[in-house]
Amino acid sequence: MPLKTPRRTKIMKGTLLFYLCLSLPLAIMAQIPVTDVATNASVGMVNSQLTSMNIQLKVVNKNLVRLINLMEKNNNDTSKSRKILKEELEAKKEAPAYVTGSTDVAMTIELKSKILEAYRSSKNTVQKLEYLQRRETQEFLGFAAQAILETKICSSNAMKS
């Protein structure tokens, strides 16, 4: 007995659906290796990029270490230089021992002390004299102060040379 067409179509649709349901897991499983291959390729690219970046970072790190060492060396040299310059400046502030110990300087210092002593005693004598006028006293003190000032200038010039 021949099957009716609508029923036959229905059976064919059911059979087709049945085979389709059976083949669907196969299609899904066939897709997994393709996805794995794409993922593995992507992971490989990322891995090579990370390796390249790691190499670059090692080079940068090496250069930074070298730069830090050079900066430390420069800092040490600058500190030593500053100390040497400070010592030289201090040495220039004082006259050398051979200058201060020379007979010319010793005689000048002795002369200076004698002049100051004479000035002090003359000043006291002039102030004790009652018959001198104020103008005369001021005039004497001016001349004496000028003489001491010139002696001081000569003394300091002798110390410098």
Of residues 2 and 74, more confidently modeled: 74
Q: Supply the pLDDT for residue 4.
A: 58
Mean pLDDT of 121-150: 76
Q: Which residues of 42-58 are buried (b: 16+ CB within 10 A; e: fewer)?
A: eeeeeeeeeeeeeeeee
Residues present in the chain in total: 161
The span from the CA of 28 to the CA of 42, in Å, is 21
Task: Give the confidence band of 1 by pLDDT, cuts at 50, 70, 90.
Answer: very low
Mean pLDDT of 34-55: 80
pLDDT at 7 over 60: yes
Who contacts 117 (Cβ-Cβ below 8 Å, separation ≥6)?
Answer: none
Q: Supply the pLDDT for residue 78.
A: 86
Mean pLDDT of 66-92: 85
CB 140 within 8 A of CB 126: yes
Mean pLDDT of 99-113: 78
Mean pLDDT of 34-53: 79
> What is the 3 state secondary structure string of 110-122?
HHHHHHHHHHHHH
Give the phi and the psi of residue 75 in degrees, each rounded to 5.
-65, -45
- Could you give the percent of the chain with pLDDT greater than 70? 78
* H-helix or E-strand spanning residue 52: helix 5-93
Instruction: For the full predicted model, state whether its pTM sits above 0.95.
Output: no
Q: Supply the pLDDT for residue 56.
A: 92
CB 112 within 8 A of CB 151: yes
- Could you give the percent of the chain with pLDDT greater than 90? 12
pLDDT at 3 over 70: no
pLDDT at 101 over 50: yes
pLDDT at 46 over 80: yes
CB 93 within 8 A of CB 136: no
